[in-house]
Structure 1
C-alpha cells in the first residue's frame, strides 16, 4: 500500500509576491529614470509644483500643514503599535502572562518593521541624494535630500501595517478603517507636493517603496504563522 506523504505547499511565495515584485521594479525604474536625467525633475514634476505654488489660499495652507505634521514622528508609531495590538489580540485565549507577552511582542515587531523601513528609506535617500525643489517654493520645514519622500514613505508604511492587521483580524468596521488610513497616507504624500518640499516623483517613489515593504512584511508574517506550532 502506498503511503501518502505530505503535500507540497501550494502557497508559493505568498499572495503578495507578485504585487511586491511589481512595486519593487516600478520603484527601481523610477530611480533609474531619475539617475539617467541627473536627478532633474521628471515630466509632471514641474507642472504639479507650479500648480501647487499658484493655488495656496491661507486656510488651505494651514489645514495642509496640520495634515503633513501627522506623517512623521510619534503618530506613525502609534498606528504601528495599534496594528501590533490587533495582531496580538489572538493571544487572548492564552494564559494571561503569555497573552501579554505575545501582544507586546506583536507591538514591538510592527514598530520595528516600521523603523527598519525608515532606515531603508534613509539609506536610499542618502545614496541617490536628489535635491529638493527650489527653497523659495517651500512653506514648511524640510531637511536633507528629496527622494523618496520621508513623510510619504513613513505614513504609507504605517498605513500598510495597519491595513495588514485589519485585513488579518477583520474587526467590526475594518473596511471603513482601511479606507480612512489609506486616505490619511495619500493626503500626507499630496501635502508634501503642495507645501513645495517634494517633487511628485519623490512621493510616488515613497508610496511604491512602502507598498513593497508592506507586502514583504505581510509575506514574512504569513509564513511565520504557517510555520509556528499550533497554526
Structure 2
C-alpha cells in the first residue's frame, strides 16, 4: 500500500488562541556530595589548626584577642551593653530549637514529611551541641578573667556555645527556607540569618565572656557540621516519585 492509499494519521490538536503550555516544575536538585565534603574538610581542617594552636599555647590568648577585649572594655556603655545582652540571649535556650522546628515545618511536604523533617532538624542541632560540649571539655580553654565579664557564662571557652548553636540554627532554617521560598526571597533570608548568627557570636566578645578565637572556632565547627548534615538531606526529605505522587521508590 502506497503512502497515498494510507489513511490519515492522528493530527496534532491546534492550541487554543491565547494559551501556552504550562511547563511542569522538575524536582529540586539535591546538593552535590563532592562540594559538601570539600567544604566540610576545609572547615574541619581550619578548626583543627585553631584548636591545636590554642592547645600548644595552653589556651593563652594571642595579641589580637587581647586587643579585641581591650576595645570591648573601652566601649561597654549603654545602650550597647543591653543590646548585646538581648541579642546574645537568642543564641541559646529555646530560640535555636524553635528555629529548627520551623525549618522542618517549611521543608516537609505533608504532615508525615514535616514531622520527619522536624525530627531530623532537631537531631542535627542536638548532636551539634553535644559535639561542641565534648570538644569544650576536651580542650578546656579558660575564659577571659571573670572580673571583666559583662554577661553570664559557664564552662570552658573553646568553642563558643552561643556561636556554634546560633550558626547551626541559622543554617538549618536557611535549609528549610530554601525548600519552600522563591530564590529571591530565600537569598534575603540567608542574609538576615547570617547577620543574626554573626551578631550573636560577636556579642560574646563584646560581653567579654569569650575570646575571638572561641567564636571563630564555633563558626568553623558549625559550618563543618552543616555541610555534613546536608549529605543526609535525602533521608530527611525523600524524593517524590513523579509518576506515583509519593516518595521515590515507595510501594
Q: Provide TM-score, normalisation by structure 2.
A: 0.79
User: Aligned Cα RMSD in Å?
Assistant: 2.0
For the pair shown, the structure with the greater C-alpha radius of gyration is: 2
Structure 1 segment 26-65 matched on structure 2, within 5 A: 26-65=46-85
Structure 1 segment 113-132 matched on structure 2, within 5 A: 113-132=124-143
Q: What is the rounded CA distance, in whole Å, between the counterparts of 2:129 and 2:104 in structure 1?
A: 18
Q: Structure 1: where are the runs of 5+ without partners?
A: 1-10, 92-98
Question: Which of 103, 111, 122 is matched with 2:122 structurally?
Answer: 111
1:141 aligns with 2:137: no
**Displacement of 1:203 after TM fit?**
0.1
Q: Structure 2: where are the runs of 5+ without partners?
A: 1-30, 242-246
Aligned to 1:199: 211
**Cα separation, partners in 2 of 1:12 and 1:105, compared to 1, 3 Å:** closer
Aligned partner of residue 142 in structure 1, secondary structure: coil
Q: Which has the higher contact order (CA 8 A, sep 6+)?
A: 1
Q: What is the rounded CA distance, in whole Å, between the counterparts of 2:82 and 2:44 in structure 1?
A: 34
Structure 1 segment 178-189 matched on structure 2, within 5 A: 178-189=190-201
Choose between structure 1 and 2: higher helix proportion: 1
Aligned to 2:104: 84
1:19 aligns with 2:30: no
State how many pairs are aligned: 212
Aligned to 2:221: 209
